[in-house]
Structure 1
Amino acid sequence: MDLDDILGPRPGDPLAALLAQDLDRLSVAELEARIIALEAEVARCRRRIDGAAQHRASADALFKS
């Protein structure tokens, strides 16, 4: 179990704030721009995950020798 499951989201958590935003007041163009920005952020997160996995694999290989 994660601490967030017990305590809930941290105050000022940007992800929680993003998910709570009211989309009803946004235009189609604004929603499309939001999707583009979020897709770019997903790609950035995936690159970070890949980099961390490669770093971990390198460290594991170094210490297994």
Structure 2
Amino acid sequence: MDDDERPRRRSTEGDFGAASLLTSESLERYSLDELDARIALLEDEIARIKAHRDKSSAHMTAAQALFRPKQP
């Protein structure tokens, strides 16, 4: 099985893989342009994660409404 076909390991609380590595990486070697590019990339990733969270929340709300017992 290729590495791309393997399921990704899910992060546990406090362990977010690459994100954890980013927070410990020294930023001293980056130029201002590289830092700006990195900020833009991270902001895009934050927007993507928030959109996914909102979609998941809407899905959960719809499922709860569908399967919630009806009130008499």
In which range does the TM-score fall when normalised by the shorter chain? 0.7 to 0.9
User: Whose helix proportion is higher, 1 or 2?
Assistant: 1
Name the TM-score, length of structure 1 as normaliser. Answer: 0.79
Tell me the equivalent position of 1:55. Answer: 59
Deviation above 3 Å: which 4+ runs of structure 1? Answer: none
Unaligned runs of 5+ in 1: none
- How many residues get paired? 58
Point out which structure has higher relative CO (alpha carbons under 8 A, 6+ apart): 1
Name the TM-score, length of structure 2 as normaliser. Answer: 0.71
Higher Rg: 2
Q: Say what the alpha-carbon RMSD is for the aligned residues.
A: 1.8
Identity of aligned residues (%): 34
